[in-house]
Amino acid sequence: MKCSLRQITARAVVALTASAVLASCSPTEVGVSKLDNYVKRLSTASKTPVSDVASARIAKPPVINELPGKDDADTLTLIDFLALSGCKLQANIAKRNTTMGRNASVSQHLIFDLEFIRLAPSCIDKLRSDEDNEIADLLEASLVSRTESLVHTLARGVLGGSEWREFWRIPDSLGEYPSQSSGDAAQSLWELSQRVERFLNGTWSPSDENLEPLLAKVRVNAGGQLLRAAMIQARGLTKANRILRQASEAGMYCSQGKLSEAGTISKTVVAKYFAGDVQAWSAAVAQRHYEINSPIIEMEAALTTALSDDYLSWAAARDLQLGALFSAPRQHVSIIQAALDNC
């Protein structure tokens, strides 16, 4: 059936109206709303236009590559599987040599290696007592190699895996953040940092090797949410800073050595919408940063010898962005004082 131009137009209007309704019902970002409201009122008070500010960009953490020349996987395939009968290590090597094991994620390879390092010594002792020294020598060489490279394997499995990259994925919207966030990542990060310490000290238990449930909890993008919040705050306060500076330079806030009407209104706006609204949101975001930052620092410090220059550069850019959560509000207060308290 053919439709007339009027019918097509009518349907298009209905579709656009429905889209508009959906858009209006979609959740807004609390931080954006608070900052936009503050900036708009500051702009209106001094009749100073709001200038556009480009948002910062930061990529996900880079992949941590395998150590150059490290490929002892074939060493284990040479071992006679039946010769390991009676060793718990037999199951570890069997899992490695399956198609799924050979294509496992970096975090799964880490789990394989941790179990291997824990089980290999008793198996080597058994083989030597059975005078099977050739296989014992192969296992011992592999044990030494995996133990020496454990810090790198940990870095790849914990800080170079898909879970860590997902943790730092920046969402398209924060919604009600930080009152509503992606899970409680702080406790998971603390537990992960403690396990990393035990792995490096050689004091871990078999239960510590069960990393997959813990890494699954880390997958929630709590780090990415924090980065977006920092970017939102930096963008909003930069706009506010520009308004205050431009209006101050134009003499909008002072009249005959006294605070002008624009200055008085602006002071009220600052007190009500910055100190009373924006700063409450910023403080809650800063608390989130405090909760997750300490375990992150501990893990990265413990594994720093295995981190690439690319990773360290990314971490520095990330920390600079997150550091603005604390420095940007302080800078804004200084600009407020310079603009409104010097008539």
Domain layout of the chain by residue ranges: 27-53+158-343, 71-148
Q: What is the pLDDT of residue 56?
A: 77
Judged on CB neighbours under 10 Å (0-12, 13-18, 19+), 52 is: exposed
Residues of the chain with pLDDT > 90, as a percent, come to 71
Give the pLDDT band (50/70/90) at residue 40.
very high
* 9, pLDDT greater than 50: no
- For the entire predicted model, the pTM comes to 0.85
Most confident of the ranges 10-19, 55-64, 278-287: 278-287
Helix, strand, or coil here: 185? helix
Residues in the chain, total: 343
b/e map 14-51, b = 16+ CB within 10 Å: eeeeeeeeeeeeeeebbbbebbbebbebbbebbebeee
Across residues 56-60, what is the average pLDDT? Answer: 81
Across residues 77-103, what is the average pLDDT? Answer: 81
Structure tokens at 190: 């603390």
First-to-last alpha carbon distance for the chain, in angstroms, is 74
Identity of the residue numbered 114? L
Q: What is the pLDDT of residue 5?
A: 30
Question: β-strands 258-259, 254-255: how paired?
Answer: antiparallel
Q: What is the pLDDT of residue 14?
A: 29
- Residue pair 191/216 in contact (Cβ under 8 Å)? The answer is no
DSSP 29: P
d(CA 325, CA 329): 7
* 222, pLDDT greater than 70: yes
* Model pLDDT for residues 281-293, shown as the tens digit of each residue: 999 999 999 999 9
* 52, pLDDT greater than 70: yes
d(CA 223, CA 110): 23
